[in-house]
Amino acid sequence: MAALTPAALPDVEPPARSGGRGRRGGIWRGVVLVVAALYFVTPLLASFVFTVNDPMTGFTLDAYGEIFTAEGFAQSLLLSLGLAVATIVLVLVLTLPAMLAVRLSAPRLRPVLEVLCTLPLVVPPITFVAGISTVLRWGPDYLAATPFYQTIISIQNPAFPVVLVIAYAVLALPFVYRALDAGLGAMDVRTLVEAARNCGASWPVVLLRVIVPNLKSGLASASFLTLALVLGEYTIARLLGFQPFSVWIVTISGANAPLSVAVSIFSLLLTWLLLLVLSTAGTRRSRS
Which of 72, 97, 158, 213 contacts other proteins by CB under 8 A? 97
Residues numbered 230-259 forming contacts with other proteins, rule: CB under 8 A: 232-235, 238-239, 246, 249-250, 253, 257
DSSP secondary structure code for residue 59 in this structure: E
Which of 170, 172, 206, 252 contacts other proteins by CB under 8 A? 170
DSSP secondary structure code for residue 158 in this structure: T
Residues numbered 37-96 forming contacts with other proteins, rule: CB under 8 A: 39-40, 42-44, 46-47, 49-51, 53, 93-95
Q: Coil, helix or strand for 58?
A: strand
Residue 85 vs 136, nearer CB to other proteins: 136
> What type of residue sits at position 55?
P
Contact region with other proteins (CB under 8 A), list: 16-24, 74-82, 144-152, 208-216: 16-24
Q: Coil, helix or strand for 1?
A: coil
The binding track of 256-275 with respect to other proteins, each residue x by CB under 8 A or -, is -x--xx-xxx-xx--xx--x
Residue 11 vs 69, nearer CB to other proteins: 11
User: How far apart are alpha carbons 215 and 286 in whole angstroms?
Assistant: 9
Q: Does 18 bind other proteins (CB under 8 A)?
A: yes
Contact region with other proteins (CB under 8 A), list: 19-27, 64-72, 78-86, 280-288: 19-27
Q: Are 66 and 260 in contact (CB under 8 A)?
A: no
Q: Coil, helix or strand for 280?
A: helix
Residues numbered 105-164 forming contacts with other proteins, rule: CB under 8 A: 105-106, 109, 113, 116-117, 119-135, 138
The distance of closest approach from Cβ of residue 110 to other proteins in the complex, given in angstroms and rounded to an integer, is 10
The distance of closest approach from Cβ of residue 79 to other proteins in the complex, given in angstroms and rounded to an integer, is 16
Spell out the residues 6+ positions from residue 121 whose beta carbon is closer than 8 angstroms to its own: 174
Q: Are 185 and 193 in contact (CB under 8 A)?
A: no
**12 φ, ψ to 5°?**
-110, 125
User: How far apart are alpha carbons 82 and 91 in whole angstroms?
Assistant: 14
